[in-house]
Structure 1
Amino acid sequence: MAPQREWLEKDFYSELGVSSDATANEIRKAYRKLANELHPDKNPGDAAAEERFKRVSEANSVLSDPEKKKEYDETRAMFAGGRFRGGNGFPGGFNGGGGTTYTTGGDFNLDDLFGGGADAGGGLGDILGGMFGGGGGGRSTGRGTASRPRRGQDLEAETTLSFRDAAKGTTVSMRVTSPSPCTTCHGSGAKPGTSPRMCPRCNGSGFVSRNQGAFGFSEPCRDCQGTGSIIEDPCPDCGGNGVQVRARNINVRIPVGVEDGQRIRLAGQGEAGMRGAPSGDLFVTVHVTGDKLFTRSGNDLKVELPVSFSELVLGATVSVPTLDGSVGVKIPPNTADGRTLRVRGRGVPKRAGGSGDLLVTVKVAVPTSLDEKATEELKAYAEAEKASGYEPRAGWGR
């Protein structure tokens, strides 16, 4: 069953403490703040904080994903408009299973829409599944249709790298505390030595169905909670859900050329799914510290090179550092101060192969003191410069 039915009862914006029109950056900041405060490592043994941490993580996994966020907003907006609103304010007038019957006129029962009765179909699940592409799930046909258990939530983490490690790529080790597959039952939820058995009520499909007039409705099987299997002897360590909250070390390979703020996806390294369901993903946001020598523009590496006046006038070959050793850069005679020289292929490595360029900007370094002989010779040069008719400000300021 797609998660739309659960979304009607959950306010993810409220969980993160942001408004419904919050930007992606505001959502990300709110999640980071709450995740840092509620993290199990900072609240050992605090069940309430752990539960809140899970809810905040679930809210972030939906609101940080543009497609899921759009689907969530559309699902809630459809029922907030009053089309199926009852007196209790809950979408569709549904009161959480209290047994009250709400009708829209005639004999149409909204309990049928939301799936009332032991064998009732999950009409809302079918409708929303069709609208948003989730599908209503397979129906019990006697042969059984494979039911995909609920995937684990995505996780967010951060790491900080030096400028040069980010440019050249590296591997970092991270310690993550999150719901992970139970090490005792290996995620099955069943006590070691036993196995889950196929649910006889839904024949392993996870859904039961019935006809209501001209309509067919389906909903998750209540005997197996929509998983398609029943655990008679649960694992004593995880209580049958196949998941434990524990700390684990993950090696994260940082590709070459990663930039500040970039997110790296590690498939299957997020929260474990219940009872062997697929795990979510881990998204690592990379922060890059500045470098005292280099900056970058895309894959080009930029550096300012201090030079003397005579090197600019007469020309020279100067050694310039790169990410890998040094390279000789030729300064042509009569080079202007501030000119940028390009050295091909000595910049930041590209993921597809090759590298950007090294951009060397020459800057005149003025001496702070000269001995008497050098001062006299400089004065002589200044006189010779004037005598030659050279005027550095000719035409300037006009």
Structure 2
Amino acid sequence: MTGVFSDLVGQDEAVDVLRRAAESAARIVAGTATGNGAMTHAWIFTGPPGSGRSVAARAFAAALQCERDGAGCGECHGCHTVLGRTHADVRFVVPEGLSIGVGEMRALVLRASSAPSGGRWQAVVVEDADRLTEQAGNALLKAIEEPPPRTVFLLCTPSTHPDDISVTIRSRCRVVPLRQPPAEAVAEVLTRRDGIAPDVAAWAAAAAQGHVGRAKRLARDGDARTRREAVLAVPRRLTGIGACFDAASALIEAAEAEAAAAVAETDASEKASLEQALGAGGTGRGAAGAMRGAAGQIKDLERRQRSRATRSQRDALDRALVDLAGFYRDVLVTKLRAPVPVVHSDAKQMSAAAAERWTPESTLRRLEAVLACREAIDLNVKPRIAVEAMMVTLWEG
């Protein structure tokens, strides 16, 4: 596969739909539309984590701005600037905190109501539309109900369940379902695009359970591999109630450390830029007073940074829980002699040993405990409480 859709792994049906829509959009711009209905003003991309929801939305936005053939050549200025997130007519909404607020959404809708500067399409890409607050969702709904000419809304959500996206927004959008890509397809793109050795790419793709971003991280980041190994060692550490709480603390602290490292550079850069804009370090008359008056803006930045850190911690913890769920899935597969490969091939001996000790029922209870922990954290249960409860269940079986 070539062009802007080349990184959308294992999604041939979705790519076909999006190519036809982009071609239809090009005809609308050229004034030669046939009215076949392939193009519409609002889309929802759904699928499990790692399926490529945001990749698909970004690629489609690039195809809409393609200056060569209208199908996303991947080589023209329009395609390059969208993929690089610098195109003037494409706006990306990526929540840094736990939610997307109404103020941010209203501002984006207002900007998207203007005519496209490049003469093609205005596109708003909401990468985590399931994090819209109710008020933000209502602001978006009004825009979708009365869309400006040649403005397209591209929403990414795990599913079309009302918990992820409102029924009224769903009813006004065309849905593009994506599936978890097979490990073989993920390995191929890691080798082709990122130059990763085939054997390493195959291992990382399997260990990441088809998640392209996670597979790339495992293949290239030694710290990520170390964290994964620590997670896979959790079942062996659960020898008593005290060990359960120790393991929970270790998991939480590892997620906090990973998140802190991930946001530290961005936080420092943002604060330095704001302080410079507000006159920090100035020696002229009124410089000190200006900084005192800017305290509110600095506090607002710090609040947003704390929210981003919380989101980053939860994302890091969720990655660990996905790895842990994969281990218990491997135990169940081994116990039942299922004709499918294990996820964690490098922990095959551990999962085989556990399969000899545990019954299928107790293994399933453990797997369900990990999945319940993920859901509880998603519902804003304190992560430490959710993880401690999970650890006790994993120990008891």
Range into which the TM-score falls when normalised by the shorter chain: under 0.3
| Structure that is richer in strand per residue | 1
Which structure is higher in RCO with an 8 Å CA cutoff and minimum separation 6? 2
TM score, norm. by length of structure 1: 0.23
Higher helix share: 2
